[in-house]
Structure 1
């Protein structure tokens, strides 16, 4: 795991660069998440955010998207950013550029294309990045509590398998999200999770462990537990570093977690 300000095309630190937390780099597949970088405490959108549907200034998110694409050495239309709605829908990207209508209302994206970064925007929800390098299939999943109990993780694995992946060869990377320390929910939400994924404290509302829930689902789908890595950072606790809706409000920027196949020669 590396905390870097990076220009991947040049493999060097740059002044105008992208704040990235590297999650995985095999030379064939690269997975990472953005973090806020330089930001102002009085502006919930300030920092690096490329989400296009959270009322941010268009010029800001477009610039961030262009910078990430340049950093990866690809064109901006090779960065696939769905408009998420907490659904369990999965899209397969088999050609680019992608028609925006095909990724509207989608919360996971699968591709086998080289040089295409598929990703999800989050600000407390759990970003899950999956790959089967043997099959050459990658996937990005937005797993908030609704999507998690609604089946988005299961659907993503099933979609990868249909694309040629084997569950036993899938590796998963869980990027920063709200931790069990901060994810307080009502009983009506807690009851939808496995009891072992819910923590109860006296005189407090239940707390849900989203990471444990997602790991449980992945293992139930045949993904080996040893293939799953959780970065373990809480976005709510570290809202100085990551965008967090619970800390900053829903009207704020988003962290972008992505995975790209054979885009880097590092």
Structure 2
């Protein structure tokens, strides 16, 4: 797993996990944790168990939401039950030994921690969530548990880079309608009326504007680094039938 120095705080354990180190094979090789994929379910569960163990907890103490590209956040006091509504794109908790994570395959995984307050968060920030307020809402949910945004470290994990993220004119117009200053996140593409969008920079702006103590980025591209990361867009370009997901997770250690 990849770690960020800013999240290496007393009492906090985290990881931006790669696709390596699991039991899946084929297009899912090897550590696919996506239960929504067409991978063998038992293999996915084993991969998730390995993630939980790496964090120092049990598989049933690793919670992930059913991601819908929203701005919705769930505050967790215990693992999800079978019938819980887990539709959201971020989780926050102040419970020790409860790992929270989000799955990605190009979108931005952001992990948050206020170690002094003992509050952590994990957010899935695709372009819809990022422009819709998922990061700000995650911070607000952490504050409701006692965190202070001026103490929060927020780190963006492996995300599709601008060089690999081509978008059409409607996408471009939507951002400029929201804020004309967002034009700085777009470069003109070689394809007429298309642009290259800088999602990592846009996410960092949202975090910086929200007033967190540290807004960082580990600077890794999911599309470009096939050996370590799954990528939805790379799969689409190859006309492959499905794709795996990697996980980014964080937990407050038990004493």
User: TM-score under structure 1 normalisation?
Assistant: 0.84
Matched residue, 1:138: 120
Counterparts of 1:101-140 in structure 2, within 5 Å, are 101-102=83-84, 104-140=86-122
Matched residue, 1:219: 208
* Change in CA separation of 1:53 and 1:201 when aligned onto 2, cut-off 3 Å: closer
Shift of 1:66: 1.4
* Change in CA separation of 1:70 and 1:223 when aligned onto 2, cut-off 3 Å: closer
Distance 1:222 1:151 in 2: 14
1:47 and 2:30 are equivalent in the alignment: yes
**Aligned counterpart for 1:154 among listed residues 136, 143, 146:** 136
Matched residue, 2:242: 251
Matched residue, 1:235: 222
RMSD: 2.0
1:74 and 2:74 are equivalent in the alignment: no
1:22 and 2:3 are equivalent in the alignment: yes
- What SS does the aligned partner of 1:26 have? coil
Matched residue, 1:260: 251
- What SS does the aligned partner of 1:191 have? helix
Distance 2:67 2:107 in 1: 11
* Alpha-carbon displacement from aligned partner over 1:212-232 (angstroms, at most 9, x marks no partner): 1111111222114xx122111
* Alpha-carbon displacement from aligned partner over 1:142-193 (angstroms, at most 9, x marks no partner): 0011111121111111111112111111101110010111111112112333
* Change in CA separation of 1:129 and 1:39 when aligned onto 2, cut-off 3 Å: closer
Matched residue, 1:3: none
- What SS does the aligned partner of 1:22 have? coil
- What SS does the aligned partner of 1:35 have? coil
Quick check: which one's helix share is greater?
Answer: 2
Gaps in structure 2 of 5+ consecutive residues: 176-181
Shift of 1:101: 4.5
Shift of 1:200: 2.1
Gaps in structure 1 of 5+ consecutive residues: 1-19
Matched positions, count: 241
Distance 2:47 2:73 in 1: 25
Distance 1:154 1:38 in 2: 33
